[in-house]
Structure 1
Amino acid sequence: MSFPEGKKAVRQRLILAELGLSPAVRTSDLARRLGVSAETVRRDIEELTQRGLVSRTYGGAAGRQLGLQPEFQDRNTLAVEEREAIARAAAKLVQPGDVIMIDSGSTTARFAHVLAEMAKKITVITNCFAVANALVQQGSARVLFCPGDFSAHERGVYGSETCSFLQRFNADIAFIGASGLTFEGPNDVETQACWVKRTMIDRAERSVLLLDGAKFNRRHLELVCPMERLSDIVTDRAPDSVLAEKIAADNVSLHLARQSGHVRVDA
């Protein structure tokens, strides 16, 4: 989707990005976060509704279609504190000498920045430009970048060449993100991203999902893998009882991140 340049375009992209993380948003909350009047937000919502991108509701807006996802740069401005805590908790799972695979996403990109700060001697295989860029700037990590077709929307490379390249390697841990998590397992909007995630999971001894709690019980276009294929989930808050029971039943270790560290809750 495209918008004309200007402040309105930025506001509308951020409204869509918010709806990518929450089923509905309130006009008053959006006005406060965007630093504009409620009337301005109502006009934006009305325009987005006319374009068929959101549904106007009493006091706000609802969305979105199963097959839409905010662009990488817009996702990167949301849930910043949560992603930081998740990244720091996940980095503690990595040991010097590990070979890890990291897929493309805003949370995995933040994870890479934290790894770069720690300067661990590791090998990283990734399809994400932001991940590679963060790690090549410190000398202790060896970075292998996948070939493939570049996606401007996702800031990464995808396709058959990407998956074939990944199949050449073995990894200690695969770190992946997802658009949502239900009792079935992680799901995603992008089919091409799902194939990369699956390949990384297949090639790794351990598969770790990095996901903020706003994505719990969110259904999207395609199932990445059954819950049981994951070894760990790192998130910022506990899921509801139904989802938590499924995670435990499939012997997936749940790591609850906090700003000051993280608490591990093993299955």
Structure 2
Amino acid sequence: MSTETTSTKGGHARSTRQQRIVDHVLAAGSASATELVELTGVSLMTVHRDVDELVRRGLVRKYRGGVSAQPTSVFESHSEYRRTVRLAEKNAIADAAVALVEPGSSIVLDDSSTALTLVDRLPEVGPLTVVTNYLPALETLKTMPEVRLIALGGDYSRTHDSFGGIGCLEAIAAMSVDAAFVSTSSMTGSMTFHQEQEIVAVKRAMLDIATRRVLLMDSSKAPRRALHQLRPLSAFDDLVVDDGVPADLLEEMREHTRVTVASGKN
């Protein structure tokens, strides 16, 4: 067996083991080092190395004797965390939102986990041009033969698993698309928000180049606020939410935009 093959297999095993640790800590809220040794079947030293790597990536927090995953605004921004939560709601939203994607059109997708869920439905639509800065979306879209894929470059963020900065903003500004499908961290009945100004800048740029603007939001994000205002809800042509949004909040949202309520029930 070649050194390269051995290295690849070792890297895959480490990645799988670290994902098991993350999943366990997310589910339990915290775990001791001894517990993680029993979970993974590796040595205490290897567990400590794995935990140090996960801490560096922002997935867990280390404390004396163990790790925790109590979400904070920073932790909630992490791509790997966002892709593990509210899956039923995001799938319902994506099922409804795909009807808003026109065959033959051009669309831009942000680095949200909700937009990533929509990506899996795009083969149902037919030929499309898709523009995105989100690396997991790029990895999936590159396998779709009917998608013309345009990748937005710039500064890579390991936390968001996406590209941003001046290079990304300039690339977006040079384009024009039929529709933008975006999400954000929080909203009220009339305003959308995000806690990071760099992310706000990219989302605003994407909205500015789109003829139609579609907001995808699961019910856990409303009513909530964050540090930076993104855009008023009235700036969006469509809002797609799941059926967990309270009736009075839905009524307020409908005063500002067209609202589609996606039901996850059969």
TM-score range, shorter chain: 0.7 to 0.9
Residue aligning to 1:114: 121
Q: Which runs of 4 or more aligned residues in structure 1 lie more than 6 Å from their structure 2 counterparts after TM superposition?
A: 5-8
Provide, for residues 107-163 of structure 1, a one-character-per-residue CA deviation record: whole Å limited to 9, x for no partner. Answer: 111111111x31510111101111122111011010100011111111110111111
The 5-angstrom pairing of residues 111-260 of structure 1 reads 111-115=118-122, 117-118=123-124, 120-237=126-243, 239-250=245-256, 252-259=257-264
Q: Is the 8 A contact 1:119 1:140 kept in 2?
A: no
Provide, for residues 153-174 of structure 1, a one-character-per-residue CA deviation record: whole Å limited to 9, x for no partner. Answer: 1111011111110111111110
1:150 counterpart SS class = strand
Selected match of 1:98 from 93, 100, 105 = 105
Q: Is the 8 A contact 2:215 2:238 kept in 1?
A: yes
Residue aligning to 1:23: none
Q: Is the 8 A contact 1:126 1:146 kept in 2?
A: yes
Residue aligning to 1:32: none
Which deviates further from its counterpart, 234-243 or 139-148?
A: 234-243
Q: Is the 8 A contact 2:179 2:211 kept in 1?
A: yes
Structure 1 or 2, whichever has the larger Rg, is 2
Amino acid at match of 2:186: G
Q: CA deviation at 1:246?
A: 3.0
Count of residue pairs the alignment pairs up:
219
2:101 counterpart of 1:78: no
Q: Is the 8 A contact 1:238 1:244 kept in 2?
A: no
Amino acid at match of 1:87: A
Q: Is the 8 A contact 1:158 1:196 kept in 2?
A: yes
2:100 counterpart SS class = coil
Q: Is the 8 A contact 2:102 2:125 kept in 1?
A: no
Root mean square deviation of aligned Cα: 3.0
- For residues 255 and 119 of structure 1, do their structure 2 counterparts lie closer, same or farther at Cα, with a shift above 3 Å needed? closer
Q: CA deviation at 1:72?
A: 1.3
Which runs of 5 or more residues in structure 1 are unaligned? 17-43, 55-62, 262-267
Amino acid at match of 1:114: R
Q: CA deviation at 1:13?
A: 4.2
Q: CA deviation at 1:10?
A: 4.5
2:58 counterpart of 1:89: no
**Cα distance in 1 for residues equivalent to 2:83 and 2:169:** 25
Identity %: 25
Residue aligning to 1:31: none
Amino acid at match of 1:133: E
**Cα distance in 2 for residues equivalent to 1:216 and 1:102:** 21
